[in-house]
């Protein structure tokens, strides 16, 4: 598979994406795409969380657009895209993502998801394994830690005060457009989804990124304990100080980690990235390239 270098001149600079429309399975879909000549190698598709559009993913996606052919769709029923018939669950959204990939003529891709987008990626891998090259799961949510619903609501409330205030004008219009009934239905679909089972099935290099301040995730030490039982190509990384919307709040740190993962390089904190966030590995799957003796994860 194609593995571009982790860094190159200008890799850290954001590149604007242009908005476009297409029709996928009879539904009009809005998406954003990097412009200009396509970089050699992987196409990278970013998938949003529930209730939201792809807009809040742009800070990270734009930082990767100069190195990867980058697309950020609003899945059917979300954001500016049209609504599919019925109430799509995780399976339907995974199929819609696969149809989008096919519609855009992308072949196999790397998928980068946040929250609900991680479940969509896991189901995509289960149903369309030939279309997935690598997976990046950022703050995966919807498991037992988020049940029952009143517990998830409290977690979301705690997360709200930990996210940057500039996220409010981005997220609130999306949530209002999505609506309460759709939110309840999607939450129920997520809680029924066999997330851990699908994660154990993954057979592509997979990066899992969690924030140390994310109330929707278990403690990183508990996540590490679970990861150590997984016999596949999973790399687990913590961004200290990040909450749930890592793609929006810590785009520089996240983009840096993704570049290193894509190049099979050790995860190193970026000293040039402003702020005091720290990044380090807490688990490296046995099937991933081992670190050299002088390249410990810390």
pLDDT tens, residue by residue, 226-261: 777 776 788 889 898 899 999 999 999 999 999 999
Residues in the chain: 298
Question: 């149903």: which residue's tokens?
Answer: 127
Cα–Cα separations (whole angstroms), residue 154 to 146, 171, 246: 9, 18, 19
Q: What is the mean pLDDT of residues 195-220?
A: 84
Helix/strand/coil for 6:
coil
Domain 17-284 -> CATH class: alpha beta
| Both structure tokens of 20 | 């476009």
Confidence at residue 69, expressed as pLDDT on a 0 to 100 scale: 96
Cis peptide before 101 (omega within 30 of 0): no
Q: Which is more confidently placed, 153 or 210?
A: 210
Q: Which is more confidently placed, 235 or 279?
A: 235
For residue 215, pLDDT beyond 90: no
Confidence at residue 10, expressed as pLDDT on a 0 to 100 scale: 45
For residue 121, pLDDT beyond 60: yes
pLDDT band for position 291 (cuts 50, 70, 90): low
Assess contact for 242 and 277: CB atoms under 8 A: yes
Considering the entire predicted model, what is its pTM? 0.89
| Both structure tokens of 64 | 């990767």
Question: From CA 112, how far away is CA 227, in angstroms rounded?
Answer: 19
pLDDT band for position 111 (cuts 50, 70, 90): very high
Question: From CA 85, how far away is CA 83, in angstroms rounded?
Answer: 7
Question: From CA 240, how far away is CA 72, in angstroms rounded?
Answer: 26
Question: From CA 83, how far away is CA 12, in angstroms rounded?
Answer: 35
The torsion region of residue 138 among left (phi > 0), alpha (psi -120 to 50) and beta comes to beta
Question: From CA 49, how far away is CA 51, in angstroms rounded?
Answer: 7
| Both structure tokens of 78 | 């979300």
pLDDT band for position 283 (cuts 50, 70, 90): confident
Confidence at residue 158, expressed as pLDDT on a 0 to 100 scale: 74
DSSP per residue over 158-187, as a string?
HHHHHS-GGGHHHHHHHHHHH-HHHHHHHH
Phi and psi angles of residue 237, each rounded to the nearest 5 degrees, phi first: -130, 140
pLDDT band for position 132 (cuts 50, 70, 90): very high
Of 67-71, 106-110, 117-121, 150-154, give the lowest mean pLDDT range: 150-154
Angle between helix axes 90-103 and 116-127 (nearest 10 degrees) is 70
């Amino acid at each position: 598979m194609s593995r571009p270098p982790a860094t190159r001149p200008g890799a850290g600079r954001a590149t604007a994406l242009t908005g476009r429309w297409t029709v996928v399975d009879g539904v009009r879909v809005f998406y954003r795409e990097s412009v200009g000549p396509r970089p050699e190698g992987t196409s990278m598709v970013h998938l949003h969380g529930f209730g939201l559009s792809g807009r809040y993913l742009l800070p990270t996606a734009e930082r990767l657009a100069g190195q990867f052919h980058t697309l950020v769709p609003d899945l059917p029923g979300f954001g500016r895209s049209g609504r599919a018939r019925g109430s799509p669950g995780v399976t339907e959204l995974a199929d819609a993502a696969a149809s989008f990939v096919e519609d855009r003529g992308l072949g196999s891709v790397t998928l980068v998801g946040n929250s609900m987008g991680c479940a969509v990626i896991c189901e995509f891998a289960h149903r369309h394994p030939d279309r997935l090259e690598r997976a990046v799961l950022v703050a995966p949510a919807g498991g037992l830690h988020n049940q029952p619903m009143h517990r998830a609501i409290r977690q979301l409330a705690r997360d709200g005060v930990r996210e940057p205030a500039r996220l409010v004008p981005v997220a609130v219009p999306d949530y209002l457009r999505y609506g309460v009934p759709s939110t309840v239905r999607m939450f129920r679909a997520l809680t029924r989804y066999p997330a851990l089972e699908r994660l154990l099935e993954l057979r592509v290099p997979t990066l899992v990124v969690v924030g140390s301040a994310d109330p929707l995730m278990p403690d990183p030490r508990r996540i590490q304990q679970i990861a150590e039982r997984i016999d596949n190509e999973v790399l687990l990384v913590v961004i200290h100080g990040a909450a749930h919307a890592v793609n929006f709040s810590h785009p520089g740190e996240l983009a840096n980690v993704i570049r290193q993962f894509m190049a099979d390089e050790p995860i190193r904190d970026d000293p040039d990235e402003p702020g005091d966030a720290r990044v380090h590995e807490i688990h490296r799957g046995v099937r991933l390239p081992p670190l050299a003796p002088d390249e410990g994860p810390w």
